[in-house]
Structures are given as structure tokens and as C-alpha cells.
Structure 1
């Protein structure tokens, strides 16, 4: 690296850790006190199907429902362009179908009620608890895997980065009160996979340089490693974000929450791979001795690649 510029990433590590702690604190407070705006997948509600004589515009239907005093609803086309599903986050009653129909007919269009029924939550309390336990188990298995592949200090940094990414991504939905449904949950799980992959790539280069570079300090070795992986990190992150921005713009309401969660997660995950995981290694005092290849009896140290 003598002829190549090395960026001083770790020179900003204290400021980055401070920023992460502030964002995590805001996220935890928002989740605890404001809570998540859970979608119908988690809460259940009322499903109403109506049939229009002519294909309506979904934004116009939303406006009519908002003017009628309805909140936390989902409007989507169902099969034909004239068939519309309205899902309301409120309890079922015999009158609800007629009330919604009256609100939709206020536009002057011909609308007929096809069905009105209660839909239960797709994710019950028991499934949520099992999902939480499954996530904890997954984090534990990740720690074991990275401990065997790299070293125990790397596993602490990797799990810290994953927890950091999940809390901040979910925290954004709590702060801004965006709907949190199964699509968003799937995006959060995808963020875990993306962030873990990014962290492993960086960790692999750090381990390699700790064994190869002899004179530099741990901080300098980590800066060298992050500089060497920077182009890969930028290219991977930008190409992923291009796809997600296209999904957000063109994917419609069904993919809006999914794409928003992934956009936030990719940005935060890339940041955490550079600063949270790497800074954790420095705070735990990573050294060359931690990653030294054991010398077999009769071998000279200089013979180790």
C-alpha cells in the first residue's frame, strides 16, 4: 500500500460510534413509546370488496375514504381493473360495508358491494414471540460461525453491526409512523443478510492484512483493509440502491414499504460494516497475535505465507 492512498476511516470512529448510539437511542425510545404502526398482517381488520362499472383510480378512492373519516386502510386492485379491495384496520360490523359503499358512491360513480368480512391477523402473538426467539437463535449461530471462521472478537463486531442495523431500520418506521407489515418484516430480514455479507467481506480483508502486514498498527491495518474494499462496497451499495429506488418509484403501494425499509437498511448496513464492526475490533483490542497462524513444530515463522 506504499504507493496507494489509504483513507483514515478510523480517525472518525469515535464520532461514528457517537452517532450510532444517538440513532439507536432515538430508535429505541420511538419503538417503546410511539410503537410501530402495524399493518393488517399483524392486527387483522375488515375486508371489503367492491365492483365499479368503470375502472377507478386508486388515489381517488383513498381520498374519498379519508374524507369519510377512515384511517389506516389499504386500497388495491383485485383481479380486474374494476374490482377493488379495501382493508380497514378496525373491527367488523354489519354496517361497515354499507358505510364504505356510501363513501365511495359520493363521487357519483356506480359501485356495488361484493363482500364484507372480517380478516384475522396473519401474524399472531405466538408467531411474533417465536419469530423473536428465532432471530435471537440466528444471531447466536452467526456468532458461532464467525468465531470459527475468523475470531471471537470479529463475531462480537458482526452481531453488534446487525443489531445496530435492525434497530435503526425499525426505528425509522416507528419515528415516521410508516406502516409496518409482512413486506417490511421481509425487508428487515433481507437487511440482516446484506449487512452480514458486507461485514464478512471486510472482516476477511482485515484478517488477511493482519497476517500479511508486519509493521503497521491495528488502526492502520484496518484503514488499509477498508480502503482496499471501498470500491467493492461502493459498487455493491450503489447498484443495489438503484434497483430499490426503481422499485420504490415504479413498484406501487405494494412494494413501497419493502423498498423503503431496504433503502434505509442498505445505507445503514454499509455504514455499520465500515464503522460499527471495525470500531468494535479496535475497542476490544484486536492484535496480530489474535490472528496469527499457529506455527507447526519444526516450521520457521518466515515460512508461513
Structure 2
């Protein structure tokens, strides 16, 4: 049974979805509504924040006290349309604290003003900026939440194809992998996911890819068609109640078929955006604790 706090988070997400369903809202207003979702979590104690120019891309450092000089490069949620580095700030701060490292949240350009591949370009620019600042690839993990989880994987693919040094690990949380929108849980979990819906996913897809000539099965955006061989270890988390649960399992299977070190973790009765409950929802905090230890292991900061 879900905790009281988890149920409250689901109710909060549902109320936000209800507000977004108003057809009279402008995109700027919808973005403002989504930014307020950061209220679901608490401020992580002992974490400071600093905005930075990461090679021309705005980004936000989340720096825990006495942290190791390693980095989690982090992509925020929002389907490329909503959210920002500020909306995921608390969650990224809790993740950074759990791992004992700093996190860099990338404020990539949003669609529909900036369509594919702008977001991937910004994420890779931030990674290259970290290298230019002296961070070694073996001390960098890349991760992300929702579409940010897609960007974390696509970054590793792009770096591999360019024969660039790869990050040590990929942490993918409630990721949107399937731009074809065909997994069965998009229908079977429609009654349990309190924030996502098929019309919303279709809106995100059109905003991101519409007019670009990019096919929905293009492996640059659809990670279920990508060749995953040679990628770093990947850890995949999802909420059992979210629309994207099925594609998380499908991606994990693809990763294992490609001989990757891959693990799959379900948060019981977890919502899409369960991560935003960091510091308030016990199920979220337990998952973050696991994520933090895994990242430390892959960065060589903790023994098995």
C-alpha cells in the first residue's frame, strides 16, 4: 500500500493535470503551472545552488556540503516543452546529496520554440563543458528524469558514435524512450497515472518533432530502436502506476540484449514524476538512496 505522502503527491499531480486541461491556458501559463510542481518536494539540507554558463547553455549547480569532485549531469523533465532547471532543482539536489557528489542541471532549450535536436545539442554541450573544466569522464554520470532520461541515453549514444570519452554511468528515471507511443501501459495505466495522458504525450511529441522530418522510430529520439552496444552501465527507475512503465521494462530488455550492465527498479504505486516528491515521500526517498549508492559505485567512490 502506498504511503500517505505518496497518495498526497498523486493528488497534487492530478490537480495540476486538471488545471493544464483548460483549453484557454496559454503555453506560458501552462509552464508556470508546471513550475509549481517543485513544491511537492522539500529543500535538501546542506545543498547550495549556483547558476552557471555551461559553454553557452544555462545550467544550475547543486552542491552538497563536503561532496566529492564528481558530477551527475542531469536532464530535467517536461517533454521538452515545460519544466526547467529550477523545477527539478530539489530532486537533483537530493540525488546529489545521496551520491555525495555535485549535480549539474542543464536548462536545455524548450520546444516548440526550439525543436529536435536542440535539446540533445545543449546536453552534449554541457558535457563537453564539464570536460573542458577538468572533470574526467570516469567521474561523470549522466542522468535524467522523464525526457531527461531519454537525453541521458542519447548523449551516451552520440558520444560513442563520435568516439568521445563516455561517462561512467547512465541513470534513467521515469524516462520517455518511445516516441511511437505504442507500449501497452500507455493504455493499461491510463487510470493510475495522475499527470500524463495520451493527448499530453502526443502534444509533447508534436512540439518536439513536428515539422522536423524526424520519424517516430528514429533511433536518435526513440531509444527502443537505438543500438545500445558499448554504452556504460545503466540503472532504470520507473513508477509502477505511470504510463511509461512498460517502455522502461522494454528498454531494460534491449539494454541486456546489447550486453550492457543494466538494472530495472520499480517504485511501488509510483507516479510519473515520483522523483519530485524527494524529501517528503518515503518511496521516493528510498529510491533516491538506492540511486545515490549506485552512482557512487559506478564512479568508484564506494566499495560493493
TM-score range (shorter-chain normalised) is under 0.3
Bigger Rg, structure 1 or 2: 1
TM-score (norm 2): 0.25
TM-score (norm 1): 0.25
Q: Which has the higher contact order (CA 8 A, sep 6+)?
A: 1
